[in-house]
Structure 1
Amino acid sequence: MDPTVVDLSRLQFALTALYHFLFVPLTLGLSFMLVIMESVYVMTNRPIWRRITRFWAKLFGINFVLGVATGLTMEFQFGTNWSYFSHYVGDIFGAPLAIEGLMAFFLEATFVGLMFFGWDRLSKVGHLFVTFMVALGTNLSALWILIANGWMQHPTGSTFNPDSMRMEVSDFGAVLFNPVAQAKFVHTVSAGYVVASVFVLGISCWYMLRGRFPGFAKRSMVVASAFGLASSLSVVVLGDESGYALTDNQKMKLAAIEAAWHTEPAPAGLTLVGIPDLQARETRYEVKIPYVLGLIGTRSLDGEVTGMSELVLQAQERIEHGLVAYDAVEALKQNPEDSAARTTFENNRNDLGYALLLKRYVEDPREATPAQIQKAAWDTVPDVPVMFWSFRLMAGIGFALIALFATAFILCTLRKHTEARWFWKLAVFAIPFPWIAVELGWIVAELGRQPWAIDGVLPTFLGTSTLTPTALITTIVGFTLLYGTLAVIEVRLMLAAIKHGPVEDHDGPEPDAAREPHLQVAA
């Protein structure tokens, strides 16, 4: 495979995935915040909570449309750019995506119209139920997509069939309850709740700074501060669970995140900062907190976190076992009734994917030299500096957002949030940071799996379609222009809606401002 085609295919998918994920977390979080806000309206029957719900629902709708439009492009790429990937693992990977479309997407698509246009046609409780179903569908959609992605990270419940030369489902329950997928789902969804909370908090504080809609803004701040604090704390707890899952299922990713080149005596220390040196294969100027990595990674004081050098030696052994499996598969191609070859394959089937790593260097892996085997083993190490610093920036932003929400919650509890002008400015400034954190999180998750499209099963460079660099460059430019245009439209629509504010058609210009003029003076 032409390395340029592989790199361009990866770049195109990365660009579309990162762009799509600008919209997904806000959709996830706003959906359940709408449920909370409308529940307050149903319980109190106060018109202002109806206005609050409808305003944030308008922003949800703008974001929802862009999320759907960009998500469809990603699914088409599996067929256009990653055809061998789709052929090799489509029976497994396609099942959660099909269920997502049938169960989740149709659910939210059915109810989203009722949510926007059913305010005066449904009862209050009926409309609240509709809003809840939209939120449920949105989050179920994330569940099934992350089950598919989690299987790519940890391909459990599946097996290679030498007769069909494809991966097939052996235990769908194991695919569904994949520990990596479950950890990814709860962590990702919680991160989406944080994004939405910062968004609502920041826009509300902007209104407070401008002296506009203070009654609306202060109530939205209360919801965002409580929901955001709970969500940001859960992100840390669930992130810790994700780290624990890596110890059992993705040891190389964990070692790369920590730039752990060698196995340390248990319990290992957590590196706060340092400079990973790829040439010397060590981390210079590192500052460590003793014991913390061992406790996070193994939940014990005597469990080891394996270093990258030792994991490379294990990969080299698996490549050698994989060559035995590869040779047996070639024999079965010639004679499917060869019982000796089938027995040999069954004894080494779990390492077949590692032999495929050698196809980067030689057409027939069985002809690889010891030097090529060693080089292929080192290919299992992802980009350590990018992993190391992306994770630390993500975690740093996460802890800063906990402090932001804790401050907001205290101010709201003490009823000081209508006077804290310094905090309003801070909340507005913080709006883009959760998006930066979630994008960094996806970089860590996906780059940390390299060189695998399916961890331990299919190398990324073998999964692409037969395309030309020209075709890929053309589509990348086309997507960039299209998505750039959509981004401008989305931002303009969002800004226009925010500038207009939570004013219903039958309302005056700014009904709250006249009732609370002291905020006009404060601003």
Structure 2
Amino acid sequence: MDLAVVDLSRLQFALTALYHFLFVPLTLGLSFMLVIMESIYVMTRRPIWRTITRFWGVLFGINFVLGVATGLTMEFQFGMNWSYYSHYVGDIFGAPLAIEGLMAFFLEATFVGLMFFGWDKLKPVTHLFVTFLVALGTNLSALWILIANGWMQNPVGAAFNPDSMRMEVVDFMAVLFNPVAQAKFVHTVSAGYVCAAVFVMGVSAFYLLKGKHRGFAKRSMTVAAAFGLASSLSVVVLGDESGYALTDNQKMKLAALEAMWHTEEAPAGLTAIGFPSLEDRKTHYEIKIPYVLGLIATRSVDKPVEGILELVAIAEDRIERGVVAYDALEKIKADPTDMAARGQFETVRNDLGYGLLLKRYVEDPRLATPDQVKLAAWSTVPNVPVMFWTFRTMAGIGFLMIGLFATAFVLCTLRKHETRWFLRLAVLAIPLPWIAIEFGWILAEVGRQPWAVDGVLPTFLGASSLTVTQLWTTIIGFTLLYGALAVIEVGLILKAIKKGPFHEQEAQDQSAADAEPAVA
């Protein structure tokens, strides 16, 4: 496999995924904020809450359409850019994606039209139920996609079949209740809720700074403050749970994001800041916070956390066993009745993926030299500086969000919505959740490298047989298309914000005023 093709395929998927993920979090969060706002309307029957719900619903709709359009591209890429990956693990990976389409996407697509056009045709309680179903559908969609992605991070419930030469499901319930997938889902969804709350609060703050729609803005900000505070606290708590999940399932990712080259003896300290170096394999000028890493990673103060160098040594051993598995598999391919080879394969089958890492350096892993084995072992270490700094940026923004929403909650409780320094801060904070979310996605996906499926299939073996020209053409095409869509989406959102929440009512009043002379 041409590594340039692999790198460009990864670049294309990364660009489309990161772009798609600009829309998903806002959709997730706004959907349930609409449920909250409309619930207040149903309970109070005050028209202002209907106006509030409909205004934010328009912004939700604009974002929803772009999210759907960009998500479809990613589905096709699995077959077009990653055909061997789809062949090798499609039995497992394809099932959650199919369920997502049949259950979640159809649910939200069925009811989203009723939500937008059913205000004057459905009873208030019925319309609220429709809005809830749309919110449920968007969040279920995220669940099934993250179950699929979680399996790539922690491939449970599946086994390699030497007869079909593919991975196959052996326990679908284990795939569904994968601890990594569950931790990723709740953490990702909570981050989406924070994103939406910051968006609503920032737009509301903009109106208050301009002295426009004050009653609308204050009510919206109050909902955003309460919803955002709960969500931001959840992000940190559930992020801690994700860290704990890494300890059992992705030790190398945990060691890399901490730039922990050697095993940290108990009680393990968390590196608050430092400068990791790939050249001398150490972290310079590090400042540690005692006990914290041990509490996050092991839920204890008496257990060590394994470092990169020790994990590389473990990878070397697994690669050597993987070569034995590869040799046994070649014998089975030559003679499916060779029971001795089958027995040998069963003893080392879990290390086959590590043996396949050698195919980057030699066509037949059985011919690999000791130096090539070492190279393959070190290839299991993701980019440490990228991991280290993306994690700290993401976590830092997470704690800033807690402070922002706590301040907003106090000000709203004290009816000091129009505190101008805070309003300016709320507007400036709008991009921060998106930065944290994109960095979180980079952390998850870069941290899995060099694997497409952790410990099972190296990324470089999963790509399709495309040409560099084909990939550059599609990358440029996607970039231009998505750039145009971004301009359109931002333009539509800014236009809706400029019109304001009472645009329809004002237009109706103006039409009535224009009609009066004719009637007279």
Q: Deviations over 1:126-169 (max 9, x none)?
A: 00000000000000000000000000000000000010000000
Which 5+ residue runs of structure 2 have no aligned equivalent? 511-520
1:462 aligns with 2:461: yes
Instruction: After TM superposition, give the deviation of residue 360 of structure 1 in Å.
Output: 0.2
Matches within 5 A, 1:476-487: 476-487=475-486
What is the DSSP-based 3-state SS (H/G/I as helix, E as strand, rest coil) of the residue aligned with 2:286? strand
Alignment partners' CA distance in 2, 1:23 and 1:455: 27
Q: Which residue type is aligned with residue 336 of structure 2?
A: P
Residue 187 of structure 1: aligned partner:
187
Residue 518 of structure 1: aligned partner:
none
Alignment partners' CA distance in 2, 1:384 and 1:247: 17
Q: Which residue type is aligned with residue 419 of structure 2?
A: A
Instruction: After TM superposition, give the deviation of residue 508 of structure 1 in Å.
Output: 6.2
Residue 64 of structure 1: aligned partner:
64
Residue 516 of structure 1: aligned partner:
none
Q: Which residue type is aligned with residue 437 of structure 2?
A: V
Q: Which residue type is aligned with residue 486 of structure 2?
A: A
Q: Which residue type is aligned with residue 230 of structure 1?
A: A
Residue 305 of structure 1: aligned partner:
305
Q: Which residue type is aligned with residue 354 of structure 1?
A: Y
Matches within 5 A, 1:98-497: 98-417=98-417, 419-497=418-496
Q: Which residue type is aligned with residue 32 of structure 1?
A: F
Alignment partners' CA distance in 2, 1:133 and 1:163: 44
Alignment partners' CA distance in 1, 2:382 and 2:71: 26
Q: Deviations over 1:150-201 (max 9, x none)?
A: 0000000000001000000000000000000000000000000000000000
Alignment partners' CA distance in 2, 1:297 and 1:267: 11
Instruction: After TM superposition, give the deviation of residue 510 of structure 1 in Å.
Output: 11
Q: Which residue type is aligned with residue 451 of structure 2?
A: W
Alignment partners' CA distance in 2, 1:157 and 1:327: 25
CA contact (8 A) 1:31 1:138 kept: yes
What is the DSSP-based 3-state SS (H/G/I as helix, E as strand, rest coil) of the residue aligned with 2:505? coil
Instruction: After TM superposition, give the deviation of residue 507 of structure 1 in Å.
Output: 3.2
What is the DSSP-based 3-state SS (H/G/I as helix, E as strand, rest coil) of the residue aligned with 2:504? coil
Alignment partners' CA distance in 2, 1:110 and 1:228: 29
Alignment partners' CA distance in 2, 1:158 and 1:484: 39
What is the DSSP-based 3-state SS (H/G/I as helix, E as strand, rest coil) of the residue aligned with 2:279? coil
Residue 52 of structure 1: aligned partner:
52
What is the DSSP-based 3-state SS (H/G/I as helix, E as strand, rest coil) of the residue aligned with 1:394? helix
CA contact (8 A) 1:213 1:510 kept: no
Q: Which residue type is aligned with residue 408 of structure 1?
A: A
Residue 83 of structure 1: aligned partner:
83
Identity %: 78
Alignment partners' CA distance in 2, 1:118 and 1:65: 18
Q: Which residue type is aligned with residue 461 of structure 2?
A: L
Instruction: After TM superposition, give the deviation of residue 291 of structure 1 in Å.
Output: 1.1
Alignment partners' CA distance in 2, 1:510 and 1:274: 62
Residue 93 of structure 2: aligned partner:
93
Aligned length: 510
Residue 28 of structure 1: aligned partner:
28
Residue 520 of structure 1: aligned partner:
none
Bigger Cα displacement from structure 2, 331-340 vs 85-94: 331-340
Aligned in 2, Cα 1:338/1:510: closer, same or farther, shift over 3 Å? farther
Instruction: After TM superposition, give the deviation of residue 327 of structure 1 in Å.
Output: 0.7
Return the TM-score normalized by structure 1.
Answer: 0.97
Residue 515 of structure 1: aligned partner:
none
Q: Deviations over 1:342-387 (max 9, x none)?
A: 1111111000000000000000000000110011000000000000
Return the TM-score normalized by structure 2.
Answer: 0.97
Q: Deviations over 1:232-267 (max 9, x none)?
A: 000000000000000000000000000000002112
Instruction: After TM superposition, give the deviation of residue 71 of structure 1 in Å.
Output: 0.2
What is the DSSP-based 3-state SS (H/G/I as helix, E as strand, rest coil) of the residue aligned with 2:430? coil
Q: Which residue type is aligned with residue 143 of structure 2?
A: L
Q: Deviations over 1:400-433 (max 9, x none)?
A: 111000000000111111x301111000000001
Q: Which residue type is aligned with residue 70 of structure 2?
A: T
Alignment partners' CA distance in 1, 2:272 and 2:442: 19
What is the DSSP-based 3-state SS (H/G/I as helix, E as strand, rest coil) of the residue aligned with 1:276? strand
What is the DSSP-based 3-state SS (H/G/I as helix, E as strand, rest coil) of the residue aligned with 2:465? coil
Which 5+ residue runs of structure 1 have no aligned equivalent? 512-523
Q: Which residue type is aligned with residue 30 of structure 1?
A: L
Residue 505 of structure 1: aligned partner:
504
Q: Which residue type is aligned with residue 241 of structure 1?
A: E
Residue 521 of structure 1: aligned partner:
none
Q: Which residue type is aligned with residue 237 of structure 1?
A: V
Instruction: After TM superposition, give the deviation of residue 503 of structure 1 in Å.
Output: 1.4
Alignment partners' CA distance in 2, 1:339 and 1:226: 64
Query: Which consecutive segments of 4 or more residues in structure 1 shift more than 3 A?
Result: 506-511
Instruction: After TM superposition, give the deviation of residue 3 of structure 1 in Å.
Output: 1.0
Alignment partners' CA distance in 2, 1:190 and 1:505: 33
Alignment partners' CA distance in 1, 2:140 and 2:264: 40
What is the DSSP-based 3-state SS (H/G/I as helix, E as strand, rest coil) of the residue aligned with 1:159? strand
Aligned in 2, Cα 1:416/1:276: closer, same or farther, shift over 3 Å? same
What is the DSSP-based 3-state SS (H/G/I as helix, E as strand, rest coil) of the residue aligned with 1:304? coil
Alignment partners' CA distance in 1, 2:504 and 2:440: 41
Alignment partners' CA distance in 2, 1:90 and 1:265: 40
Instruction: After TM superposition, give the deviation of residue 505 of structure 1 in Å.
Output: 2.1
